[in-house]
Amino acid sequence: MNKVQQISILDYSYSLPEEQIAAYALSDRDQSKLLVWNNGTIRDEEFFHLPELLPPGSMLIFNNTRVIRARLFFKKHTGAKIEIFCLEPFEPNDYVLSFSQNKSCSWKCIVGNLKKWRDEILVQSLTIKGKQVNFRAQKTGILPNNSFEIKFTWDNPDLNFADLLENSGNIPIPPYLNRPSEVADLTSYQTIYSKIKGSVAAPTAGLHFTESVFEALAAKNIDCEEVTLHVGAGTFQPVKSATIGEHEMHSEKFIISRDFIDRISKFQGRLIAVGTTSVRTLESLWIIGCKILENPLILPEELSVNQWEPYNSENKATSRSESFCALANYMHSNRKTELTSSTQIIIVPGYDFKVISGMVTNFHQPQSTLLLLIAAFLGDEWKKIYEHALKNNYRFLSYGDSNLYLK
């Protein structure tokens, strides 16, 4: 176990009063507080001032994933309620293909009230777009991490799986909000720029952005680009081990376009990630570029990033530009208009950031991998920032206030 893996999770804890956890979003997204940390200096701002606070010539990178209504509730014939939480597609294992199926598909799921569900096929009768359909769920396999393969079938080919989720599913708001999802969450728990369905948790740093903020960014000539990383339920998974080396990081799928890589490989300014998911995607892309430099004939399916790979890399001197140019050339030579891969990267203190020089993010849970990522970027300054926020009544977690960190 290397030095990084010996990090004690207890060193990344703080006392978070329940009254400072924001249970609901603000009615005006961009009116949240914005804590600005710039090389050790803290100042209090409001989010709508963000465009004025960014360094000239910066580029913001957004995660355009869209949260799906992943929580499904079925009733047994006895009346017992069974919750099925869809995590990711299993067969077919592509999001677009799975959503477009019109007869059946299988998903990796977590099951609530599992003891009450044995072999029975669960059924709910729905009316969607004026059409009747019987929607069925059946357990067909046991998967790692207490999850199951659930096969969904339905008897109306005019409806696809996306239709069924949109009409019978519930938005999966974070468990720490301690409340059921409400109609307002259907809007407030999506970024206004969300496009690609697949997440079971929102990239919450982006929830603060409004059309007026984007107009102000354009007026300041701040470039805005998008990646797609589908946020998994593992983002809420607490670190239960004493040291971070014993924690298995969740894997998440991401998609980037060749046009994006072409632009970013030529960009010389500061890259500022909106949210930890964008951070993880960008830093993973640097590792993928390094893999291509090592082996230009590497197969696309070998480009995924594992948990500890960044700490074992022999390419630490490779620049952002060199790595991204290698990735751009690889995509062109392989005639790929987009790259779909996955990352299990864990970013903890001791990590050497290769891509970003700033981030927009929310406040994160104690002893979480997200807080470890923040501490990797800020060092011990994270303690000063969180202490300041707690004393000045900032709102915490998904629906809470925002931060801008700049180096």
Q: How far apart are CA 65 and CA 238, in angstroms?
A: 23
Place of tokens 């931060």: 403
Mean pLDDT estimate for the chain:
94
Q: How confident is the model at residue 240 (pLDDT cuts 50, 70, 90)?
A: confident
pLDDT at 40: 93
Q: How far apart are CA 370 and CA 226, in angstroms?
A: 21
- Domain-by-domain residue ranges, the chain? 4-66+187-406, 70-169
Lowest mean pLDDT among 98-107, 248-257, 310-319: 310-319
Q: How confident is the model at residue 101 (pLDDT cuts 50, 70, 90)?
A: very high
Mean pLDDT of 345-351: 95
pLDDT over 80 (residue 189): yes
CB 343, CB 305: distance < 8 Å: yes
Number of residues that this document lists for the chain: 407
pLDDT over 70 (residue 355): yes
pLDDT over 70 (residue 192): yes
pLDDT at 7: 93
Residue 289's contacts (CB-CB under 8 Å, 6 or more residues apart) are 318, 322, 323, 324, 325, 326, 327
pLDDT at 313: 67
pLDDT at 317: 81
Residue 380 exposed, middle or buried by CB count within 10 Å (0-12, 13-18, 19+): exposed
Mean pLDDT of 311-336: 90
Residue 401, CB-side half-sphere exposure with 13 Å CA sphere: 24
Q: How confident is the model at residue 63 (pLDDT cuts 50, 70, 90)?
A: very high
Mean pLDDT of 71-80: 93
Mean pLDDT of 40-64: 97
pLDDT over 80 (residue 16): yes
pLDDT at 67: 97
pLDDT at 1: 52
Q: How far apart are CA 407 and CA 405, in angstroms?
A: 7
Copy the structure tokens of residue 229.
């990383």
Model pLDDT for residues 128-174, shown as the tens digit of each residue = 989 999 999 999 999 988 899 999 999 999 999 999 999 999 999 99
CA distances from 272 to 99, 224, 347, 351 (A): 32, 10, 16, 17
pLDDT over 80 (residue 248): yes
Mean pLDDT of 182-196: 96
pLDDT at 193: 98
Dihedral sign computed on CA atoms, order 220, 61, 63, 29 = negative
According to the CATH classification, is domain 70-169 in 2.60.15.10? no
Share of the chain above pLDDT 70, in %: 99
Is residue 92 reached through a cis peptide bond, with omega within 30 degrees of 0 on the bond before it? yes
Mean pLDDT of 310-322: 83
pLDDT over 90 (residue 114): yes
pLDDT over 70 (residue 9): yes
Q: How confident is the model at residue 2 (pLDDT cuts 50, 70, 90)?
A: confident
CB 73, CB 82: distance < 8 Å: yes
Question: Architecture of domain 4-66+187-406 in CATH?
Answer: 3-Layer(aba) Sandwich (3.40)
Share of the chain above pLDDT 90, in %: 90
Q: Which of 165, 208, 212, 183 is nearest to 32 (CA)?
A: 208
